[in-house]
Structure 1
Amino acid sequence: MSTTLTSARGRLPLRQLICLVPLLLAAAWVAGNWSVILSGVGELRGADVNWLLASVAVTMTCWIPVCLLRQGTVMERLPPGRLLASQIAAGSANHLLPAGLGAHVVTLRFLQGCGIPTARACAALALYSLTQPIGRYTLLLSLMAAYPHAIPLGGLLPAEYGLLALAILVGGLTVAALVLWSVRPLRGFVQDFLRTALTDARALHARPARVIAIWTGALAFPALQACVLVTVARALQMPVPAVDIMIAYLAASIVAGIVPTPGGIGSVEAALLIALVGAGSPVSVATAAVLGFRIVTVWLPLLPGALVLAVLVRRKVL
């Protein structure tokens, strides 16, 4: 009995430390970017407060399509409250590791906690990662088809930027193919994983409710994110039509997604700034819009997301 109590007491401080890790990482990230935050706040002081509040409200609704998309990737019904909490936490973790790994780790632990086997949980993550860019491409092409007189892609991003992104993508795929070809155990694992993923994808697309959830979420999330940028641009009185701003966001987010940085930090800002200037915005206004967009979508949700993540870890949900 005494040994059990001693063991439990020994584990308690470690668990408390683990719960504090997300908060410490968030605080370190904010401290490291404090000058950028202050600069953005200074640029946005003259912005329309009502439009900025609207951007915050739209940002909060972005969790809904993410939850829909997550639910659509598994056959089992997920508990709505815990699903929403896990995605709020995943949004914070996503800015701490590159290529969305932080969000995937949180979601993987959540799905495992819901009784979903690891292989099928990984297949759900792969389906989520596949449908997200498809949704962005579909929305971008649809807007360009519906508004043929909007700015062309060539006016948004310089050819050199697109070629660099393409080179990174091709290089990454080539390295991955060489690794798979040379490491036979890894190749076998990937084949088994793809077999499981394809089986689950076919089963999910045989259920209309899951199909609606997947593709509604995949299309609604980038649409709402683009609307956030539109509201921030309107707060700064940017002289660019709303459709052009949405096209600029979608094009920039697709290109920035090729560069695997934590939360897209650095790559998203650069791509968005170039795209907005290419759409016809003055550089100063475009800079303030990008900073405002990132403050609303990244920095403001960071601390609440870290707090939710700590609570979920403490309660063994993750």
Structure 2
Amino acid sequence: MTAVRHPDLPRRRLPARAPVRRLLCLLPLLLVVVAAVRGRSVLAEGVGQLRTAAWPWLLAAAGATCLTWVAAAVTRQGAVVQPLPKRRLLATQFAAGAANHLLPTGLGASAVNLRFMTVCGIPLARSSAALALYLLTECVGRLGLLAALLIAFPDALRLGPLLSDVAPGILLPAVGALLLVAAGALALVRRLRTAVCSFLRTALGEARSVHARPARALALWGGALAFPALQSAGLMAVGRALELPVPPLHIALAYLAATAAVALVPTPGGLGSVEAALVVALMAAGGPAAVATAVVLAYRIITVWVPLLPGALTLGALVRREVI
């Protein structure tokens, strides 16, 4: 016999979150496979370059890469007044690095950290304000180091022979049009203008609260300067490993200039665009094309491809344990 459900009895709801969470745990691994298949030629060539490199310098580059996650964790803590669990914060930065290489630039890490802060009990408005403060200070720190090196070594980069006049002619009007569209939207859409003004008030309040505490301000700005400095140190170490004939500080200048330029290109983790920009920057600093390409491929193997799978596994574990 077929059981007949009484119309007054409520339907039994099956838990919907468990399958969704399991899917989210597997999604990073699927994205890693896709990224590895798409970048298999880069992986193969980069591994080949690593075979001829000086291993002590490669280990130094790996150490600098590991310290970037510590610097990111320190900066994230500096952006909020509320103390965050240290171990989970560091694990989240490791996982966010993998997410950042699998999604358009900045979105992966931002989404992971925003979720982590809300799970830690920080309201969404304050979490978003802390995220904006982090991005602002990281940008200021990167551009500040770039400006300091440009002042110290004004002739280190010779971009004239490598760049055409076409790119600026296309980029500047596009940026201007984007700013005009954003300004018009704010002026015409009242709800959007109200939301933006409310967010700015919250962000300014959070920034004042953070800077009222010297320890938080030191962590925020110290980490924001240490993060790009450690990334540059990693590239300098790989340059030494492969005997790139460019002074170390010129390599750092090339790295900061390339990453600042490529931030405008919304590709997953800068994959493809970062490699091209770094090769051009190292050539502009005086490096031979073949050696510059080898250095960039080896550097990206160490900083992107080697941590990608463990980072994705960490991301899945954090999702499964509801840390994010």
Q: With structure 2 as the length reference, what TM-score do the two structures score?
A: 0.90
Q: Which residue of 1 aligns with 2:163?
A: 158
Q: Distance in 1 between matches of 2:234 and 2:168?
A: 24
Structure 1 counterpart of 2:286, from 277, 280, 283: 280
> Structure 2: which 5+ runs fail to align?
1-9
Q: Which residue of 1 aligns with 2:14?
A: 7
Q: Distance in 1 between matches of 2:319 and 2:142?
A: 32
CA gap of 1:156–1:204, structure 2 versus 1, over 3 A, is farther
CA gap of 1:249–1:162, structure 2 versus 1, over 3 A, is farther
Q: Quick one: which amino acid aligns to residue 222 of structure 2? A: T
Please show how residues 246-285 of structure 1 align to structure 2 within 5 Å: 246-285=252-291
Q: Secondary structure at the match of 1:95?
A: helix
Moved over 6 A (4+): 3-6
Q: Which residue of 1 aligns with 2:232?
A: 226
In 1, are the aligned partners of 2:157 and 2:281 still within 8 Å (CA)?
Answer: no
Q: Which residue of 1 aligns with 2:145?
A: 139
CA gap of 1:236–1:162, structure 2 versus 1, over 3 A, is farther
Q: Distance in 2 between matches of 1:157 and 1:208?
A: 45
- Structure of larger gyration radius: 2
Cα distance per residue 1:16-75 (max 9 Å; x no partner):
222111111111111111111112222332111221122111111111110111001111
Q: Distance in 2 between matches of 1:128 and 1:153?
A: 32
RMSD: 2.2
CA gap of 1:50–1:162, structure 2 versus 1, over 3 A, is farther
Shift of 1:302: 0.9
Identity %: 53
Shift of 1:11: 5.0
Q: Which residue of 2 aligns with 1:304?
A: 310
Shift of 1:166: 4.3
Q: With structure 1 as the length reference, what TM-score do the two structures score?
A: 0.92
Shift of 1:4: 11
CA gap of 1:115–1:239, structure 2 versus 1, over 3 A, is same
Q: Distance in 2 between matches of 1:163 and 1:243?
A: 30
Structure 2 counterpart of 1:180, from 176, 186, 200: 186
Higher alpha-carbon deviation: 261-270 or 211-220 = 261-270
Q: Which residue of 1 aligns with 2:195?
A: 189
| More helix, by proportion | 1
Shift of 1:178: 2.6
Please show how residues 111-122 of structure 1 align to structure 2 within 5 Å: 111-122=117-128
Q: Distance in 1 between matches of 2:243 and 2:81?
A: 45
CA gap of 1:52–1:256, structure 2 versus 1, over 3 A, is same
Q: Secondary structure at the match of 2:286?
A: coil
Report the count of equivalent residues. Answer: 314
> Structure 1: which 5+ runs fail to align?
none
In 1, are the aligned partners of 2:79 and 2:216 still within 8 Å (CA)?
Answer: yes
Q: Secondary structure at the match of 1:263?
A: coil
In 1, are the aligned partners of 2:156 and 2:250 still within 8 Å (CA)?
Answer: yes
CA gap of 1:62–1:155, structure 2 versus 1, over 3 A, is farther
Q: Distance in 2 between matches of 1:214 and 1:201?
A: 10
Q: Which residue of 2 aligns with 1:236?
A: 242
Cα distance per residue 1:61-109 (max 9 Å; x no partner):
1111101110011110111001001111111111122131111111011
